Structure 1
């Protein structure tokens, strides 16, 4: 036994001697706004000694042989930091705090993971250059993944409340920006594709950006109110895995995974895989839905000058289309809005909507030297939809005398398939040059985009609304003057081809569509392509900057594509962009800008002309904007203000045709004027904020109907805004606890429905609790704390509206390893 104690004594002695012969290195890393930088690689150059920073940015390297070293701190997307240090035996070398700045020269910016602020400083979409947001003469709003995570947002419709001037118009995801609809296209990493019928999951996104006003000088096709862009997460050179499971109201179950790291020792080959699944019900009847997202990506970074990224995004949706809460045609109450419960939907249980989307993206970024770089990227996208929908037909059922029965709505059948394909690529050079005292950031590029509807898709619909007297075929709308031609029930009312939906006594029992008189037609094949060349120069002379841009757009569409009378239609446009930025102080920039928008409105973009109508004139727009961008509290807080005027011509709106609810018509001109404010960042080291406010007044200034001229546009509230604040406790027994409070408001909206029904204004409050200990993160989110009843916009019918969700909660558990 004495030998054992002797051996133990000698082992401890030699260990202590060995430790006295080595030293250690300790320090803290931070980002530019003072936030602890998590998952930073720390390495002693020329050795295998290193560490990865923890959640508070701390690191320690032990058992280091005494001597002089170069300590390297690095992370993809951040400028590396090198420090000379001296390690002494038996001592701990404490290095000064290491502060990182984001590398704005990269095409696909990669933001460090961990709990940062809600602030973002760069956007490649706004100028296709490395210029910081502060130097861009145009308002850019954004939502970072940190805010998305804190609010437990899962779809685009969950985050728009955080962006000034953006509203959700319908349950299925239609949005407006500065009063204008966002159209049928979205952007992923600056590449345009057509959007699906309902919004997909967003677990693979680094952030969402909105560039306000038309951006046609850089991208051609552009919505006048603004462009929404999704920036995907990119692989990191540090191994990191995170999983999260959530459960909450409406039988919601969620699971997410985010896995990233190097695939080889040299860390030149990186990977990332984001997966997400949600199985959730709703406060709305028959709105159970299953969502799947799988998004793997690979990056090749052979050196600091070159980066290649490949991304695959697969999404799947299995649910039903929600066209809103149907209202009664007459109601003896305080408002028609209360004539039916907000849960009511006019459909049947055998309706379904299945969507699949598959995107493949690639990008190459190469820096030839400090002054010249080249970027090229592409996306291929295919979208497939299979659906059976029983839906309202924009009209109430008539009685035998032709008077509407306010508790019965006509119904319509849609059964079919839909497929859309997209290809989009862009390539451009960036040149940084000087001409005397003037600095130039020159951009020269070329874009190509193509979209089509291939052969083989079809749609079955009702052959008519009512049955003939012999019950052998369907007739159109009911005409009481010819009642003898229609099949009548025992009360003398016309018998519909498809049963009417009873709002007072709803019945969701599946319907046998084989009993209807229907017609089936193949969808028309469509194709359009567009390409453009552009040049832009951002000049800087002292405190003054000027942005000058010009694009030549070439658009081609095929009428009656692949038919005997096929005709190619071409359009061209010359699109300018002019902007000024003046640095009033080190922290405050003032700017002004003028941009124009161009948007063809042809069958290839809008859809089947037999359904949607047309042909239509191209949509054109222009915008004048003035504003200011400023940084406060040592760049921890950013504030953007903007004043704007947008003029849009040839707008498409619903024709409110009872025989064809999807039919569109063209309105002459609308003018939108407004003010916006966005605030993002940190008020205090532990207090983070995202806040916004907007005032918008959009007026119809030209129309074939003179009574509309001078009136306000429908579903365009004058005032809206919101805020979300999070406070983290970092010491004491509550260390790791966080609390967040938020809310958003929207003032009343006109609807152009039911003799100008008004949707009342509303304010909704949200809250969240967080607790993080080591690798585990717990959160509880409560939305609509006061259980407000409210309506956010239109339904997808002239007899429906879009209700907001009542009080609900979500509890989540996350683990990082």
Structure 2
């Protein structure tokens, strides 16, 4: 393509006001033009943004207007050099004048000397840590990069910089305090509540389900997107409260290397590595490697955890229209089981030290949890032209999980004797869990008269097979919670329970976002049809019985979604939606699959971009109902209870972004009433505490009515440039801890803080940082599921880090 042809291409842009470095790199991403600049030119310089359709020169001129910068296009039209305007120079910036120029920068030489870096020595553009707290779009909402103000759903994004500022190591650390309506819940797998409903079995990674998620880490994540409400139309089996999508880091064209060492309380040490750059000279093949070694003890006796995580990624971009990403992951974790066993005594959690271990350490330390995971995934996109593209994603994961754990069954309210049972689970014959997921999406933009369409047609498939597992259940000797005897020898042998499960899930879906009235009204219409198969064995007492009674249940359903957005002003949106979801229960009861879950939501709200689009605010009202909710039976670990129907109704407020060049903020508040509305048809009030039946009108466990979080960061300039100070507070109201509403989890307030300093040493960017969590050493209980499964919160902890980038 000739220089003239490149310069004459007209593209559509929607780049918000903000740091000029971020704006330039977004323009580079959208136009495919390489933009080169010295970071000293752009630090603390802001652009007023760019909207509409423009040629390249027009777009650059508009983006740089009023900044005192101008651009020079290279001879081939594929590179742009950004420099200070010289006195009287008005070639590409009418406002330029009187600026003192830096020495001229040669484009080819700059690529070796400056590496295209922006503020802080980090790379700019996709994968950059310095992306601030505000995201402009999120692909999980629509499976398209639609601006958040045009999407008729609530979605929150936790950026890489948020994770780094708070030193959030786990996914839970990253989302619980930074997103409204999200809480932890006790489970053997990593489970979160979104809008009051727990997703026990799965999260998503780059848009594909990762079944039975566990041990999730932020090492290779660029952002985390939390999509609120049922998203069944695009993703199939999801909880009506919402889903969590993990977005991994992508390779960069600019070489970049980072090594970080973290050390903290309880003997924690963590080493991470991030390296990226091109593999060949024309930059059509890129790589990125993220790795972690983590080791820590715990505030609880006997517990320790060690994790090795390696995640290389390759990107291929041989032609402008095609890009392929291939992701690999390897994880090996060894840990002493720390499943919560704190019981309730009377109407509150037992008043014992939170460091007390109530599992059998002779067994759990000699046979720790062993988890191995290998995952390979790819995604590619081919653009037929500027309006139509095809995307295919695929992931394959093999994992093995061996656990030795105990379940707390009941506690004597007078003596404090805790009755327990041992569970030891291994696969029969060394088999592994195999998870396969794929989807194909066709995106298109077209017009019909005054209507502009953003259409999506898609297909997806999930297949997961768990090997025959052998779980031993055996009663253990009781342990007294006030004076534990850890040296009682228990026979770990017992009657085995054989379980074999699998599922297949296939769906087709379509949606259309229709815009009209000068792009101020957006109507979303869509639907999905699913075919699901769930297989399990009815006879669990023997291997032969498990094999001979293996049966499959079949389900199918249609899930619609409709939404409306009205933008009376470019920075303000009013939205509403109606959605339904369909999802199979993620468990069985005595070997039999539970009936499928269904959800329905009505939602309405307001979104606004404030302070020159630096800050985004969302207010949402939601009303969700869900049927056939699975809940553990504390009286029988082999059984699962099913609630007829529950309802979550409330409001959420989120505020995220930058107030000015120095101050950034994340604030959220949730008011949510979560309770059973159709429960047990009959029950005995005197035995409700032990049976844990769900009763109409009772609150669901650990569902506080009000809770909120605030995090504020100040970045100094002038003589103290490089210094950052931040602090946060989390306030959670008291809640009821079990289905019987028989005890209270007290409310609590947590204080967190950070201080960091970044400086240049030769060609290295060095950042020293210190974070304090739960600074007041508050004793608190963040969640529970019944009277013997209460999770304790970590006491005061200190985490220091040193990061070197070059």
What's the TM-score once normalised by structure 1's chain length?
Answer: 0.80
User: Which residue of 132, 141, 152 maps to 2:156?
Assistant: 141
C-alpha separation in 1, matches of 2:257 and 2:82: 29
C-alpha separation in 1, matches of 2:547 and 2:74: 68
Retained in 1: the 8 A contact 2:664–2:714?
yes
**Structure whose CA Rg is larger:** 1
Cα deviation code 1:125-176 (max 9, x no counterpart) = 1111231121111100121110000100110221211110001123864311
1:103-114 equivalent positions in 2, closer than 5 A: 111-114=126-129
In the alignment, structure 1 residue 375 sits paired with structure 2 residue 352: no
Q: Secondary structure at the match of 2:363?
A: coil
How far has the Cα of 1:348 moved from its partner?
Answer: 1.2
Cα deviation code 1:289-345 (max 9, x no counterpart) = 111211100000123321100001122221122222423756xxx954314545443
How far has the Cα of 1:406 moved from its partner?
Answer: 2.8
What is the aligned partner in structure 2 of residue 810 from structure 1?
799
What is the aligned partner in structure 2 of residue 5 from structure 1?
none
C-alpha separation in 2, matches of 1:768 and 1:52: 30
Retained in 2: the 8 A contact 1:386–1:417?
yes
User: Which residue of 638, 663, 673 maps to 2:639?
Assistant: 663
1:679-698 equivalent positions in 2, closer than 5 A: 679-698=655-674
User: Which residue of 459, 473, 478 maps to 1:461?
Assistant: 473
Retained in 1: the 8 A contact 2:226–2:242?
yes
C-alpha separation in 2, matches of 1:801 and 1:364: 44
Q: Indicate how the Cα distance of structure 1 residues 41 and 423 shifts in structure 2: closer, same or farther if over 3 A, else same.
A: closer
In the alignment, structure 1 residue 629 sits paired with structure 2 residue 618: no
What is the aligned partner in structure 2 of residue 220 from structure 1?
236
User: Which residue of 21, 28, 34 maps to 2:19?
Assistant: 34
C-alpha separation in 2, matches of 1:328 and 1:431: 56
Q: Indicate how the Cα distance of structure 1 residues 166 and 73 shifts in structure 2: closer, same or farther if over 3 A, else same.
A: farther
How far has the Cα of 1:415 moved from its partner?
Answer: 1.6
Retained in 1: the 8 A contact 2:751–2:773?
yes
What is the aligned partner in structure 1 of residue 649 from structure 2?
673
1:428-439 equivalent positions in 2, closer than 5 A: 428-439=441-452
How far has the Cα of 1:517 moved from its partner?
Answer: 5.3
Retained in 1: the 8 A contact 2:352–2:481?
no
In the alignment, structure 1 residue 207 sits paired with structure 2 residue 223: yes
Retained in 2: the 8 A contact 1:39–1:53?
no
What is the aligned partner in structure 2 of residue 414 from structure 1?
423
What is the aligned partner in structure 2 of residue 273 from structure 1?
289
C-alpha separation in 2, matches of 1:761 and 1:777: 36
Retained in 1: the 8 A contact 2:341–2:408?
no
C-alpha separation in 2, matches of 1:115 and 1:171: 34
Q: Indicate how the Cα distance of structure 1 residues 55 and 698 shifts in structure 2: closer, same or farther if over 3 A, else same.
A: farther
Identify the range of structure 1 (755-764 vs 136-145) with the bigger mean alpha-carbon deviation.
Answer: 755-764
User: Which residue of 538, 545, 549 maps to 2:522?
Assistant: 545
Q: List runs of 5+ in structure 2 lacking aligned partners.
A: 1-14, 29-33, 46-70, 90-99, 106-123, 539-545, 684-694
Q: Secondary structure at the match of 2:177?
A: helix
Aligned length: 701
User: Which residue of 496, 505, 518 maps to 1:520?
Assistant: 496
Q: Indicate how the Cα distance of structure 1 residues 754 and 432 shifts in structure 2: closer, same or farther if over 3 A, else same.
A: closer
C-alpha separation in 1, matches of 2:457 and 2:789: 48
C-alpha separation in 1, matches of 2:74 and 2:82: 5
In the alignment, structure 1 residue 185 sits paired with structure 2 residue 218: no
In the alignment, structure 1 residue 763 sits paired with structure 2 residue 749: yes
C-alpha separation in 1, matches of 2:238 and 2:76: 41
Q: Indicate how the Cα distance of structure 1 residues 171 and 254 shifts in structure 2: closer, same or farther if over 3 A, else same.
A: farther
1:375-394 equivalent positions in 2, closer than 5 A: 375-389=391-405, 391-394=406-409
C-alpha separation in 2, matches of 1:676 and 1:447: 31
What is the aligned partner in structure 1 of residue 627 from structure 2?
649
Retained in 2: the 8 A contact 1:289–1:320?
yes
What's the TM-score once normalised by structure 2's chain length?
Answer: 0.81
Q: Indicate how the Cα distance of structure 1 residues 112 and 203 shifts in structure 2: closer, same or farther if over 3 A, else same.
A: closer
C-alpha separation in 1, matches of 2:703 and 2:653: 18
Cα deviation code 1:654-707 (max 9, x no counterpart) = 2221xx335211111111111001111100111111111110001211112457
1:315-326 equivalent positions in 2, closer than 5 A: 315-326=331-342
Retained in 2: the 8 A contact 1:424–1:449?
yes
How far has the Cα of 1:122 moved from its partner?
Answer: 1.4
What is the aligned partner in structure 1 of residue 595 from structure 2?
617
How far has the Cα of 1:426 moved from its partner?
Answer: 0.5
Q: List runs of 5+ in structure 1 lacking aligned partners.
A: 1-29, 60-67, 96-108, 398-403, 466-497
How far has the Cα of 1:82 moved from its partner?
Answer: 6.9
Retained in 2: the 8 A contact 1:327–1:340?
no
Q: Indicate how the Cα distance of structure 1 residues 616 and 433 shifts in structure 2: closer, same or farther if over 3 A, else same.
A: same
How far has the Cα of 1:504 moved from its partner?
Answer: 2.1
C-alpha separation in 2, matches of 1:416 and 1:499: 20
C-alpha separation in 2, matches of 1:668 and 1:760: 28
In the alignment, structure 1 residue 121 sits paired with structure 2 residue 133: no
Q: Indicate how the Cα distance of structure 1 residues 82 and 634 shifts in structure 2: closer, same or farther if over 3 A, else same.
A: farther
1:1-16 equivalent positions in 2, closer than 5 A: none
Retained in 2: the 8 A contact 1:591–1:628?
yes
How far has the Cα of 1:284 moved from its partner?
Answer: 1.4
In the alignment, structure 1 residue 70 sits paired with structure 2 residue 46: no
In the alignment, structure 1 residue 530 sits paired with structure 2 residue 510: no
In the alignment, structure 1 residue 747 sits paired with structure 2 residue 733: yes
User: Which residue of 587, 590, 602 maps to 1:606?
Assistant: 587
